[in-house]
Amino acid sequence: MNSRRDFLQKIAASTIALPFVPLYGAARKEAVKQPYQGPVLRVAIMGLGGYGTRVADAMRDCKMAKLTGVVSGTPSKIKDWQAKYGVPEKNCYNYENFDAVKNNPDIDAIYITTPNALHKDEAIRVAKAGKHVICEKPMALNAVEGQAMVDACKTANVKLLVGYRMHFEAKTLEVIRMRNAGEFGKPLFFQGLSGFRIGDPTQWRLNKQLAGGGAMMDIGIYSVNGARYMIGEDPIWVTAQETKNDHVKFKEGVDETITFQFGFPGGATASCLSTYSMNGLDKFYLNGEKGFAEMQPSTGYGPILGRTHKGELTQPHVTHQTVQMDEMAGIILQGKQPVVAVDGEEGLKDLKIIDAIYEAVKTGNKIALQL
């Protein structure tokens, strides 16, 4: 996907410019972008790894969100980020002293991008410091932890948002609009394929204590969440089966491949795959009585590609994390309501479903869901 994006950027850069045509009056005024002068969400990123860096880079293009602080246990990373992003020393914290952020007016929210097992305690500390919480998905290791996060943020009267970047992606939103408008008719079936061949066997994503599982907790959650926003309902039952071929890389409690199925109250069903042992799996397919939508890639960093029975989806690609952070700023600062929720309750639903998937794998039973 990165190579495709690089290719598109080179094509755009090499395009010959059109001759200059002067604009006059109202047309010229409309062509000049006015700088944004509204409220700005000041964000600190906690966890300065690969994804935290991706978010920070994307925020350079945000209008309503700005990187103003960092939290890290690695002093050298803090120094690097200070130089790269211009973060002042007074807005830099480690995991021992970051409760002091309570007294820092330069930071409104903290975006947690650390390993899954750390999310709950970190989110609760952020909430107690009076700052809004943005947390990467999965929100926690399980629904019990997720509920504790929701409760802590309610008690502290701060927002809890989850990094569901696809909820703001233009082609995804067009499919949701079409479904809501009845253009597919009654939804009948969803297929979600989410997977890649994972590399380094020593990374935290293959550590049960840090990740809470394996592929399901990393890539499988995209099909769990995608089934819900594509169908437009929450599932009422789940069945699931696990396949494990490499018992050295995928130790006890670290899933390699899980296939899982949902039933929905309107009668639709879903069939999904989550894996760490197959490449090229990033596809959503929705079938309805009147039409279909197919997206491949469906959840990668983009561009997302898709088509429906009415033709190709042509909405322009914008860096997902840039859109996400601007939209989350709108939610926190202006009370904006997203088309698809990104709050703690949304994250909690996915955790309840993942808990049920693991239970279905363990017991072989169909598990009833009450979300």
Query: What is the tens place of the pLDDT at every residue in 161-215?
Result: 999 999 999 999 999 999 999 999 999 999 999 999 999 999 999 999 999 999 9
Bond from prior residue into 39 cis (ω within 30 degrees of 0): no
Pair 349, 219: CB distance under 8 Å: no
The per-residue pLDDT for 164 is 98
Among candidate residues 85, 222, 276, 285, the one labeled active-site is 222
Confidence of residue 14 (pLDDT cuts 50, 70, 90): very low
CA–CA distance, 150 with 363 (Å, rounded to integer): 29
Whether residue 23 is contained in a domain is answered as no
The per-residue pLDDT for 32 is 61
Distant-in-sequence, close-in-space partners of 35: CB < 8 Å, separation ≥ 6:
none
Whether residue 250 is contained in a domain is answered as yes
Pair 345, 162: CB distance under 8 Å: no
Give me the half-sphere count of Cα atoms (radius 13 Å) on the Cβ side of residue 33: 3
Whether residue 140 is contained in a domain is answered as no
Q: What is the mean pLDDT of residues 21-32?
A: 46
Token pair 């949701």 is at which residue? 176
Query: What is the tens place of the pLDDT at every residue in 347-371?
Result: 999 999 999 999 999 999 999 999 9
Given a cut of 80, whether residue 301 has pLDDT beyond it is yes
For the record, the structure tokens of 113 come out as 């991008």
CA–CA distance, 251 with 51 (Å, rounded to integer): 25
Given a cut of 60, whether residue 292 has pLDDT beyond it is yes
Q: What is the mean pLDDT of residues 67-76?
A: 98
* Cα end-to-end distance, the chain, whole Å: 34
Confidence of residue 4 (pLDDT cuts 50, 70, 90): very low
Query: What is the tens place of the pLDDT at every residue in 102-160?
Result: 999 999 999 999 999 999 999 999 999 999 999 999 999 999 999 999 999 999 999 99
Given a cut of 90, whether residue 279 has pLDDT beyond it is yes
Q: Is 154 a catalytic residue?
A: no
Confidence of residue 13 (pLDDT cuts 50, 70, 90): very low
Pair 66, 91: CB distance under 8 Å: no
Considering the chain, what percentage of its residues have pLDDT values greater than 70?
91
Q: Is 222 a catalytic residue?
A: yes
Q: Where are the alpha helices (DSSP H) in 15-167?
A: 25-31, 50-59, 75-85, 119-128, 143-156
Whether residue 172 is contained in a domain is answered as yes
Given a cut of 50, whether residue 24 has pLDDT beyond it is no
Whether residue 41 is contained in a domain is answered as no
Q: What is the CATH number of the domain that holds 269?
A: 3.30.360.10
Whether residue 92 is contained in a domain is answered as no
The per-residue pLDDT for 68 is 98
Among candidate residues 120, 137, 159, 352, the one labeled active-site is 137
Whether residue 193 is contained in a domain is answered as yes
The per-residue pLDDT for 34 is 80
Q: Are strands 292-295 and 367-368 parallel, antiparallel or unpaired?
A: unpaired
Higher pLDDT, 15 or 201: 201
The tally of domains found in the chain comes to 1
Secondary structure of residue 248 in the 3-state scheme? coil
Domain residues for the domain of 301 are 166-317+343-368
> Which of 357, 271, 273, 274 lies closest to 367, judged by CA?
357
Confidence of residue 41 (pLDDT cuts 50, 70, 90): very high
Whether residue 4 is contained in a domain is answered as no
Given a cut of 70, whether residue 25 has pLDDT beyond it is no
The per-residue pLDDT for 35 is 86
